Chains A and B, each alone.
Chain A
């Protein structure tokens, strides 16, 4: 079943003869329980793409249908409600509130969703156990490591059972060890908790954990790779090959 269907998506900046085509006629779909990575260098339009799907940026033309609803037709209020019910977010810089404990940060999205107050603590405990952060629930974000923060953010994204989790460079601020732990977590979220994940990254290692990778260049889809039965190592090599074709400097982008 399709969770996300993007068709003929265009996003132009500027006016008249000075137009930047950030997204130029992009179409693709994401099915239920899929882990899709979108790769591209800086300025390729991948973050713009993510933001339009995340409903925090508008489109010039085209449609984005999430779980059967065309979000390009919704107003501000409806979009907020939509985000609240259907989407989960994980960002590069964690985006946790420093004044709240880890437990409260995770609970925040339940509170906004008006979950039954007596269930909140139990739900937070459950998800934390699954993500291995139950030990740090009463601490503040500044007292835990970057990896733990990102797992906390993942727990917050996951706890509402969203239709789609959007992750923007989730490993961007982590060291390699913590990055690996997080990606394993994502994989588990995808495989065991049946989460549908759309991750934007410029890092081939991160992308190799996904089931499918879309490459974007100059606002267009350039290539697509499916992992299938391949090992992660082989998939990684394949991704590197495409990136070389793409001409992007690996370290620079």
Chain B
């Protein structure tokens, strides 16, 4: 009998809480498809780095389990509250508490199972789709094919499912056990009108601002620049400050806003403000803890998406600075032929270009440079103007011109400030009998392989190098096909053995590679692996966080529509038209949806600003981070908007029925 009731109730819940069931199904689907992908041989074989994907996914899945557990626990609590009268009635009729608990748990397990089973089918479809994207990133050939290794992903999904439900259902069981008939029958009537004093909420509000600003400042001071390690204790402290600040803000903001509103008649008595703000503050009071947690989730979401978009851009630019040419080899000129012959076997060669670096016995620039900016080589590297222009051309950059009495410096963005600082000292340099004037200092599109071990090169008119010592030889090969990770390994095999020498003082053998080899394909593969793992996991997490937040707020709003339907009919009788009431509803929902989002947006902005201290040298411009903040906000809001619309239309339907 109870089982039958359980089925019937589950069926009813499915209809009433469709948005929740759909969200859980989406979450399980994502979980399953990522399990499938991270265990797929096709994907793991893409690059040596991809093996990590599997382990990262397990870790991420556990976080998702935690968040999903939060959602499911919240929803079960909510469904229980809505149906408390019904349970009270069962108890009144003499049904044992144990049986009611069993029935309720049974119902929720059915809902969970429906989501889980659906997720297996949807997950397979989604995983083929995501696989095709990943394979596409690696330029690997792709045929639509179903995953082959099902066993481990299914076991993982089942495992996560049981962990979540075991914990949540134990919590539920304990919750029911503690309740009495009276509580159940009057559960809804429980008033949450515990008045917090105005002063207290204002103090909390100020404290929250202090904590947040403090946290952001500490954070900003720890992330100063490249190579300066942040102090983990400080970062941890900043995170604690931010978390506390977020919760305190949510706890006190509504009350502070309310007392502000009540003080200003102009705002208080304007349109529907009074009604909206009162409803809002009552709402916040009843669920401030959940709202605080949601705010925290949104903060994580935004930071995750911003970070991942930022990283993508960094990788693109890094590729341009480390390996813009298909193959770059720095070795002795007489060895070049063997590399070229080898490459010719598998690749069609578009162009071969060799150039030389030149040195002097005095290092005008390196000796003046601040120690922080000096490379390990410590020698000024000169390049002929014609060679330099050719290097630019191969990167699709326009050439520069120099008169025969000018020179030019190209630096990496990290050394730029150092060179700029000594600009006055190096206005002119004397080489041989010639005095060269500094024409310009450029820090854009620098390539580190131009001068190994230095952060800058000096470009001089071709004839000047006659007065310089010829140094390292470099070979650049432009191939028709895209190079691979494998070619890098093969070319490394061709190198002469490492040059080793024993230091007479401490008897330790120091070895140097006889040549430096940069194959674009190798960097591409590494970057793509890191990017894929990072992007997919962060977006996966961000997506789950967003839909969990959206669901909870949407469900709460729909709940309001049911509970406060009467209020809207009062407003209607008092003379607000249907149109005006819907406008009030939209306004209310907007505030309600935006409230947990405001702070995360601000925090995300400042955290990104701090991270930019480190990443700016690798990014196209100093303001590039703004576009990442914008992009992540848009992505988040797009999904969030769907939940807002669902909430609004459900609300509307409820009022009209």
Interface residues of A (CB under 8 A from B): 54, 56, 76-77, 79-85, 87, 89, 95, 97-100, 104, 107-113, 115, 117-118, 120-121, 140, 142, 156
- How long is the Cα–Cα vector from A98 to B566 in the complex, in angstroms? 11
Q: Can you list 11 residue pairs at the A/B interface with Cβ under 8 Å?
A: A76-B577, A84-B574, A89-B574, A97-B278, A97-B567, A97-B570, A99-B281, A100-B275, A109-B575, A111-B270, A118-B265
- B265, A100: Cβ atoms under 8 Å? no
Q: Mark B551-583, 1 if CB is under 8 A from A, else 0.
A: 000000000000000110011111111111000
Residues of A within 8 A of B266 (CB): 117
- How long is the Cα–Cα vector from A76 to B579 in the complex, in angstroms? 9
Q: Which 5 A-B pairs have the closest CB atoms?
A: A84-B575, A80-B577, A83-B575, A117-B269, A99-B282
Closest to B581 in A: A80
- How long is the Cα–Cα vector from A224 to B577 in the complex, in angstroms? 35
B323 vs chain A, min Cβ distance (A): 63
Residues of B within 8 A of A99 (CB): 278-279, 281-282
- B573, A83: Cβ atoms under 8 Å? yes
Contact (A104, B274) CB under 8 Å given A80-B580, A83-B575: yes
- How long is the Cα–Cα vector from A83 to B576 in the complex, in angstroms? 9
- How long is the Cα–Cα vector from A98 to B575 in the complex, in angstroms? 19
- How long is the Cα–Cα vector from A30 to B278 in the complex, in angstroms? 38
Residues of A within 8 A of B572 (CB): 56, 80
Residues of B within 8 A of A156 (CB): 574
Contact (A111, B265) CB under 8 Å given A76-B577, A140-B193: no
Residues of A within 8 A of B575 (CB): 80-85, 87, 109, 112-113
Closest to B265 in A: A117
From A80, A84, A113, A120, name the one whose CB has the most chain B CB atoms within 10 angstroms. Answer: A80
- A112, B574: Cβ atoms under 8 Å? yes
- B274, A81: Cβ atoms under 8 Å? no
Contact (A81, B577) CB under 8 Å given A95-B566, A108-B275, A120-B265: yes
Residues of A within 8 A of B274 (CB): 100, 104, 107-108, 111
A85 vs chain B, min Cβ distance (A): 7
Residues of B within 8 A of A120 (CB): 265, 269
Interface residues of B in 569-613 (CB under 8 A from A): 570-580
B174 at the interface (CB under 8 A from A): no
- A95, B193: Cβ atoms under 8 Å? no
B271 at the interface (CB under 8 A from A): yes
Residues of A within 8 A of B579 (CB): 77
B557 vs chain A, min Cβ distance (A): 15
Residues of A within 8 A of B574 (CB): 83-84, 89, 108-109, 112, 156
- How long is the Cα–Cα vector from A179 to B530 in the complex, in angstroms? 76
- How long is the Cα–Cα vector from A99 to B269 in the complex, in angstroms? 16
Residues of B within 8 A of A113 (CB): 575
Closest to B268 in A: A117
- A107, B193: Cβ atoms under 8 Å? no
- B576, A80: Cβ atoms under 8 Å? yes
- How long is the Cα–Cα vector from A98 to B567 in the complex, in angstroms? 9
Residues of A within 8 A of B281 (CB): 99
- How long is the Cα–Cα vector from A128 to B4 in the complex, in angstroms? 56
Contact (A89, B573) CB under 8 Å given A97-B278, A104-B274, A111-B274: yes
- A95, B278: Cβ atoms under 8 Å? no
Closest to B575 in A: A84
Closest to A78 in B: B577
- How long is the Cα–Cα vector from A108 to B571 in the complex, in angstroms? 9
Contact (A56, B573) CB under 8 Å given A77-B579, A140-B193, A142-B191: yes
Closest to B191 in A: A142
Residues of B within 8 A of A83 (CB): 573-575
Cβ-defined partner of B278 (8 Å) among A85, A104, A115:
A104
- A76, B265: Cβ atoms under 8 Å? no
- A77, B566: Cβ atoms under 8 Å? no
20 new A-B contacts, CB < 8 A, other than A77-B579, A95-B573, A140-B193, are A76-B578, A80-B576, A81-B577, A83-B575, A84-B576, A85-B575, A87-B575, A89-B573, A89-B574, A95-B566, A97-B275, A97-B570, A98-B282, A99-B279, A100-B275, A104-B274, A108-B274, A108-B275, A109-B574, A156-B574
- How long is the Cα–Cα vector from A245 to B575 in the complex, in angstroms? 39
- How long is the Cα–Cα vector from A83 to B269 in the complex, in angstroms? 20
From B269, B282, B566, name the one whose CB has the most chain A CB atoms within 10 angstroms. Answer: B269
Residues of A within 8 A of B265 (CB): 117-118, 120-121
A88 vs chain B, min Cβ distance (A): 9
B585 vs chain A, min Cβ distance (A): 15
